[in-house]
Amino acid sequence: MHSLTEKALAGSPRALARLITQVENDTPLARQALTDLHSHTGKAQIVGITGAPGSGKSTMVNELAKEFRRRDKTVAIVAVDPSSPFSGGAVLGDRIRMQDLVSDKGIFVRSMASRGNLGGLAIATANVSSVLDAVGYDVILIETVGAGQSEVDIASTAHTTLVIEAPGMGDDVQSIKAGILEIGDILVVNKADRPESRRTIKALQAMLELGHSTKTLHHGQVIETAAVVDYNEWMVPVLPVTSLTGDGISELVSHIETHFSWLKESGNFELHQRLQFEKQIRQLLQAAVWERLNGSRFEELLQQVSERQLSPHAAIEALLKLL
Amino acid sequence: MHSLTEKALAGSPRALARLITQVENDTPLARQALTDLHSHTGKAQIVGITGAPGSGKSTMVNELAKEFRRRDKTVAIVAVDPSSPFSGGAVLGDRIRMQDLVSDKGIFVRSMASRGNLGGLAIATANVSSVLDAVGYDVILIETVGAGQSEVDIASTAHTTLVIEAPGMGDDVQSIKAGILEIGDILVVNKADRPESRRTIKALQAMLELGHSTKTLHHGQVIETAAVVDYNEWMVPVLPVTSLTGDGISELVSHIETHFSWLKESGNFELHQRLQFEKQIRQLLQAAVWERLNGSRFEELLQQVSERQLSPHAAIEALLKLL
């Protein structure tokens, strides 16, 4: 085991930060570390937090972290920004408000960026979560900034996904359009002290009732596999929270913990984990097969296909013989 | 060669429709037909037409088809609706207006739907385009209904992509957000008889000037490969059109034809084709490798990874030995 991996396992935040940078860059050291750390994983609860800009995600994530700490759980916060080219420490503006958290040894904060490769970001986020799980954090909060397909991909890593809405952010149809509502295990209406929040809560409850029958299908698509997790038994709650005052945070954390218990008891935790590994192995295998073939007759075959001397299917036959 | 493929090649619209259904369902007959037809492909211009609902895409596609017919070109229209579960003939409501087109032997109309598999839809659309190319249609118009990632994927099949905007459809920022503007080779402002259209045209021109330097990168991402097509030489025009009266349609068709000439002369047609084949071979190879492994020790290895007896990377090593 590399000394960096050893030190991270022993609890050094500095070694952990450096190891995560290696993982983000997909270095040989990182691949070896992920292999070495694999047997240490499988204990943490990974919680994804997603929602439109302006919904107050960052403040809520901070409050969630504090509440988990009060319950004697260690917490890692990963803020993922697909639109930013900068990765590293707690560089996001919102993190400046976290002075009270940063001094706590039981909390680790990290931001991640896309560097122009959204597909890679979802894989990197999953790998970073594995490292944080292995070194012993009880709860991993993955906060995604921005919206869209990247968030859906990143959310598929999480065991429990929170979708944050805030009242008065335009029409509620936006969330459904982006396909974000379907991925929520818990829906949270933030800024619940505002009078308009009742309307947002009612709208979300109505949508949940409408969408209930199609939920499993959506989850099946998110996970991208033929197997479909049975989420029907989990009734998605809509919870009012006011992050600024802390109202509702304790109830939200209790629901997050209940969802984890439900995942474990229903067998869905095992299933989720299996699907994640299957997806990961498929991706790694694809990359490995490609690495093997790129040095070979591939270019020549591609040229023949382009010139219509060979069909794509015939090219595949030839390539499979090379493996 | 299967008799269905032979009849489609000989010009039977009925055989063609049945063959396309086979291609949509990815049957063994379809795979064989695509192999047999491969040497007949490479002549058609594939034009993608995309834009928000309400921009008047369908009417414009009909007018484009008529103008290409006036120029003695045969036309196939493929209307792709990622949100609909129904495929088949000209079933879309908009097609009811096409009575004058349907009686023309030089026009073939087809709708396609997702059946819940968006990734598969892009592949199916590419394969259907190949069949239409092989049987001799000069121009293939692919109209995508709806918006989002699926349109970007489908557009990557096209040689020339039109992005349709209409004045007064809310803020212009919408299009950029959806990443759709970046894929346009020609931007069209439909309903140009409305007074607000001047503002839309100016807004699009301003965006093009701003975004010019990043265009190549976006195209690189759309095509999903390391190689980047040099699109910098093509200056994206913004064209006003009024589909209902036909104003501007002739100029638009001339620009589409000019873009095709530019693609051929600049070498970008060859490059685009090569990238498409490379992508297709990657996808087919991935599926073939997966088919080979699924009957083998895969499940056993996945179980060992889930139980932390084996790391994902060690599982890949074992799987590669099996190939």
Give the 3-state secondary structure percentages of chain A, helix then strand then coil, rounded to 5.
55, 15, 30
pLDDT of A175 > 50? The answer is: no
The residue of chain A nearest to residue B305, with distances taken between CA atoms, is: A277
What distance in Å separates residue A289's CA from the closest CA in chain B? Answer: 8
CA gap B200, B225 in Å, rounded: 33
For the ranges A54-68, A88-102, B128-142, B192-206, the lowest mean pLDDT is seen at A88-102
What is the Cα–Cα distance from B243 to B250, expressed in whole angstroms?
A: 11
Domain boundaries, chain B: 1-40, 41-266, 269-323
Q: What is the DSSP pairing of strand A107-113 with strand A160-165?
A: unpaired
Average pLDDT over residues A216-245: 61
- Closest residue, chain B, to A292 (C-alpha): B320
B42 closest CB neighbour out of A39, A302, A308: A308
pLDDT score, position A213:
38
DSSP character for A235?
P
- Enumerate residues 6+ apart whose C-beta is below 8 A from B220: B227, B228, B229
Are B88 and B128 contacting, i.e. CB atoms less than 8 angstroms apart? Answer: no
Q: How far is A259 from chain B (nearest CA, A)?
A: 21
pLDDT at A224: 33
User: How far does the CA of residue A321 sit from the closest CA of chain B (Å)?
Assistant: 10
Window 175-194 of B, Cβ < 8 Å to A:
none
Highest mean pLDDT among A110-119, A274-283, B170-179: A274-283
Q: How far is A7 from chain B (nearest CA, A)?
A: 20
Cα gap B4→B15, rounded to integer Å? 6
Q: How confident is the model at residue A176 (pLDDT cuts 50, 70, 90)?
A: very low
Q: Does A278 touch chain B (CB under 8 A)?
A: yes
Give dist(CA B62, CA B143) in Å, integer.
Answer: 10
Name the range with the highest mean pLDDT among A38-47, A172-181, B95-104: A38-47
Per-residue pLDDT reduced to its tens digit, B275-303: 889 888 888 888 788 778 776 688 889 99
Residue A44 above 90 pLDDT? yes
Q: Is the pLDDT of residue A280 over 90?
A: no
Q: At what angle do helices A28-37 and A13-24 cross, to 10 degrees?
A: 120
Name the residue of chain B whose CA is nearest to A311's CA. Answer: B35
For an interface test with B, give the residue of A306, A309, A320, A322 to mutate (most B CBs within 10 A).
A306
Q: Which residue has the higher pLDDT, B229 or B240?
A: B240
Amino acid, res. B60: M
| A41–B278 C-beta distance less than 8 A | no
Dihedral pair phi/psi, residue B264, rounded to 5°: -65, -50
pLDDT value at residue A146: 60
Question: Element (H or E) spanning A83, and its range?
Answer: none
Run of H or E including A315: helix A312-322
Q: Is A251 on the interface with B (CB under 8 A)?
A: no
Tokens of A140: 């991993």
| A226 touches B at CB < 8 Å | no
Most trustworthy range by pLDDT among B60-64, B154-158, B174-178? B60-64
Cross-chain residue pair A289–B289, CB shorter than 8 Å: yes
Q: How far is B127 from chain A (nearest CA, A)?
A: 11
Residue indicated by tokens 């104003």: B247
pLDDT of residue B217: 35
Name the helix (H) or strand (E) containing A161.
strand A160-165
* Set of chain A residues whose Cβ sits within 8 Å of the Cβ of B35: 311-314
* 3.30.300.20, 2.40.30.210, 3.10.20.600, 3.40.50.300: CATH of A41-266: 3.40.50.300
Identify which of B12, B64, B40 has the alpha carbon closest to the alpha carbon of residue B239: B64
**Residue B1 burial class via C-beta count within 10 angstroms: exposed 0-12, middle 13-18, buried 19 and up:** exposed
pLDDT band at B98 (very low <50, low <70, confident <90, very high): low
Which pLDDT belongs to residue B94?
46
Contact residues, chain B, for A38 at CB < 8 Å: 305, 308, 310-312
Categorize the per-residue pLDDT at B180 as very low, low, confident or very high, splitting at 50, 70 and 90.
low
Q: Give the number of other Cβ atoms within 10 Å of residue B233's Cβ.
A: 8
Which residues 6+ apart lie within 8 Å of A202 measured at CB? none
Overall average pLDDT of the A300-308 stretch = 91
| More confidently predicted of A171 and A197 | A197
* A281 in reach of chain B (CB within 8 A): yes
- Token readout for A224 is 């991208």
Question: Which DSSP category does A145 fall into?
Answer: P
Task: Answer for the pair A85, A147: CB distance below 8 angstroms, yes or no.
Answer: no
Token duo for residue A138: 């009880």
For residue A82, give how far its alpha carbon lies from the nearest alpha carbon of chain B (Å).
Answer: 14
Of A221, A277, A311, the CB nearest to B38: A311
**B202 contact A CB<8A:** no
CB within 8 Å: A316 and B285: yes
Note the pTM of the prediction, 2 decimals: 0.66
Do the chains contact at A311 and B35, CB–CB below 8 Å? yes
Cβ-Cβ contacts under 8 Å for B149 (sequence gap 6 or more):
A149, B118
CB atoms A316 and B282 under 8 Å: no
Determine whether the interchain pair B306/A35 forms a contact, defined as Cβ–Cβ distance below 8 Å. Answer: no
Residue with the two structure tokens 């290895």? B301
Query: In this complex, do B302 and A288 lie within 8 Å of one another by their Cβ atoms?
Result: no
pLDDT of residue B19: 96
Is the CB of residue B305 less than 8 Å away from at least one CB of chain A? yes
Strands (E) located in A25-148: 45-51, 75-81, 107-113, 139-144
A38, A83, A131, best to mutate vs chain B, most B CBs in 10 Å: A38
Helix or strand (DSSP H, E) at A162? strand A160-165
Does residue A227 belong to the interface with chain B, where contact is any CB pair within 8 Å?
no
Rounded to whole angstroms, the Cα distance separating A285 from A278 reads: 10
Residue A226 buriedness (CB in 10 A; 0-12 / 13-18 / 19+): exposed
Question: Is B277–A306 a contact, with Cβ atoms under 8 angstroms apart?
Answer: yes
Integer Cα distance of A276 and B306 in angstroms: 9
pLDDT at A65: 95
Q: CA end-to-end span of chain A, whole Å?
A: 31
- Mean pLDDT value across chain B: 81
- In whole angstroms, what is the distance from residue B179 CA to residue B153 CA? 11
Q: Which residue of A has its CA nearest to B178?
A: A148
pLDDT exceeds 50 at position A217: no
Alpha-carbon dihedral B53, B54, B58, B60, rounded to 10 degrees? -130
CB contact under 8 A, B312 and A286: no
Given a cut of 50, whether residue B232 has pLDDT beyond it is: yes
Check whether A263 has a pLDDT greater than 60: yes
User: In Å, how far is A213's CA from the nearest CA of chain B?
Assistant: 15
Helix (H, G, I), strand (E, B) or coil at A307: coil
- 3-state secondary structure (DSSP) of residue A173: helix
By Cβ distance, the residue of A277, A301, A314 closest to B312 is A277
A282–chain B Cβ distance below 8 A for any pair: yes
CA A86, CA B30: separation in Å to the nearest integer? 47
Q: Say if residue B173's pLDDT is above 50.
A: no
What ipTM does the predicted assembly reach?
0.75
Is the confidence at residue A11, as pLDDT, over 60?
yes
Measured between beta carbons, which residues in chain B are less than 8 angstroms from residue A292? 320
Q: According to DSSP H, which parts of A75-166 are helical?
A: 99-102, 118-134, 149-155
A116 touches chain B (CB under 8 A): yes
Amino acid A82: pLDDT = 65
Q: For residue A18, what pLDDT band results from cuts at 50, 70 and 90?
A: very high
Query: What is the rounded average pLDDT of the residues A7-18?
Result: 94
Chain A residues inside the 8 Å CB shell of B27: none
CA–CA separation, B117 and B198 (whole Å): 39
SS (H, E, C) chain B: CCHHHHHHHCCCHHHHHHHHHHHHCCCHHHHHHHHHHHHHCCCCEEEEEEECCCCCHHHHHHHHHHHHHHCCCCEEEEEEECCCCCCECCCCHHHHHHHHHHCCCCEEEEEEECCCCHHHHHHHHHHHHHHHHHCCCCEEEEEECCCCHHHHHHHCCCCEEEEEECCCCCCCHHHHHCCCHHHCCEEEECCCCCCCHHHHHHHHHHHHHHHHHHHHHHHHHHHCCCCCCCCCCCCCCEEECECCCCECHHHHHHHHHHHHHHHHHHCHHHHHHHHHHHHHHHHHHHHHHHHHHHCCCHHHHHHHHHCCCCCHHHHHHHHHHHC
The yes-or-no verdict on residue A88 having pLDDT over 70 is: no
The pLDDT assigned to B90 comes to 44
Nearest-angstrom CA–CA distance, B125 and B132: 11
* Residues 49-108 (B) with a CB less than 8 A from some CB of A: none
Residue pairs between chains A and B whose CB atoms are closer than 8 Å: 111
Instruction: Using the predicted structure, report yes or no on whether residue A113 has a pLDDT greater than 70.
Output: yes
| More reliable by pLDDT, B6 or B96 | B6
Eight-class DSSP state of A89? S
